[in-house]
Amino acid sequence: MAVDTLTATPPAPAPSPGAAPRPRPVRRSSWSSRAVVNTVLAIVAVYTLMPLSWLVVNATKDNGDLFGSPGFRLGDFNLFANIADLFAYHDGVFGRWLANSLLYSVIGALASTLISLLAGFAFATYSFPGREKVYGLVLLGILVPPTVISLPMYLLASEAGIVNTYWAVLIPSLVNPFGVYLARVFTDAYVPHETLEAARMDGAGEFRALRSVALPMLSPAFVTIFLFTFTASWNNFFLPLVMLNDSSLYPVGLGLFSWNAVLPQEPQLYALVVTGSLLSVVPLAVAFLTLQRHWRSGLTAGAVK
């Protein structure tokens, strides 16, 4: 007889009588967890976008539709007429407020970001006596709310004679402890000390090494700190309220607040306040949509490292 060369699979050994049965693997369905996460995210998105949706809908209404129809129901389309009335009211003061906000936010954010990058680079790169203690004092500034120091800053500005000027709002915005912290973290992650040493060995001075080597590597840090500072400066309310008396120097948030305070006496301003609130959101949306590519790429690169 021919012998079969194929070997049969040996049977599994029988469990011993006293051994516990092996538990079967349980397949956990992931669809339920995804559904829960998506539901929570949808609720958060609706909660976040609801005020903006209300602004978009009601900015298209005149005063009659604003009070005569529900908040999320469209009326006659009067958006462009509201915008024209908004910029024509009181000799176009709203346009002045927008320009003031851009001045406070763009110029202040650029200067504050540059100062934060220089300070963070110095803390991360140079060794000097008391470095960590000074850095600890800077971090303590993060714990102090800006509202608490507004009155001391007003007294200092009064002594310096800059109350009710642009400088009273611009100078305090230059100090950003959180920006210094982010700049040091990014410098530690993005700028190798060997690269700076190589630049110094090639004859580059400290300023040249910073400008030509470190700053290009810190472009994600620049965009990140700038966005945080720009948003904080644009939404800054209490400091201009304390420092400024002249309405022509108001930022857009404080200007709209002053209009909102007189709505019972001037009800025709309701549509203008709603339309102005919508327009005041546009620069923030433009800044984030324009710079998010650089911001997200920088965060991704840091994660890969």
Q: What is the pLDDT of residues 243-275, one digit of tens each?
A: 999 999 999 999 999 999 998 888 888 999 999
Token pair, residue 166, equals: 């642009």
Cα diameter, the chain: 115
Token pair, residue 174, equals: 């230059």
Mean pLDDT throughout 158-175?
93
Mean pLDDT throughout 10-18?
53
What pLDDT sits at residue 128?
Answer: 87
Token pair, residue 273, equals: 């306040």
> Taking the model in full, what pTM does it have?
0.81
Mean pLDDT throughout 155-164?
93
> Predicted confidence band at 6 (pLDDT cuts at 50, 70, 90)?
very low
Spell out the residues 6+ positions from residue 299 whose beta carbon is closer than 8 angstroms to its own. Answer: 220, 224
What pLDDT sits at residue 14?
Answer: 53
150 exposure class (CB count in 10 Å sphere: 0-12, 13-18, 19+): middle
Q: What phi, psi does 12 have (nearest 5°)?
A: -65, 140
CA-wise closest residue to 185 among 109, 119, 108: 119
Q: What is the pLDDT of residues 206-254, one digit of tens each?
A: 888 888 888 888 888 898 899 999 999 999 999 999 999 999 999 999 9
Calpha distance 114→118 (Å, rounded): 6
Calpha distance 85→78 (Å, rounded): 10
| pLDDT of 17 strictly over 60 | no
What pLDDT sits at residue 293?
Answer: 73
Is-contact 74 60, C-beta < 8 A?
Answer: yes
Q: What is the pLDDT of residues 70-107, one digit of tens each?
A: 778 887 888 999 999 999 998 889 999 999 999 999 99
| pLDDT of 301 strictly over 80 | no
| Alpha-carbon separation of residue 201 from 3, 178, 191, 197, 198 (angstroms) | 80, 33, 16, 6, 5
Q: What is the rounded average pLDDT for all residues in the chain?
A: 84
User: What is the distance of C-alpha 167 from the center of its chain?
Assistant: 23
Token pair, residue 45, equals: 């998105």
Token pair, residue 218, equals: 């810190």
Q: What is the pLDDT of residues 287-298, one digit of tens each?
A: 888 887 766 655
| pLDDT of 305 strictly over 50 | no
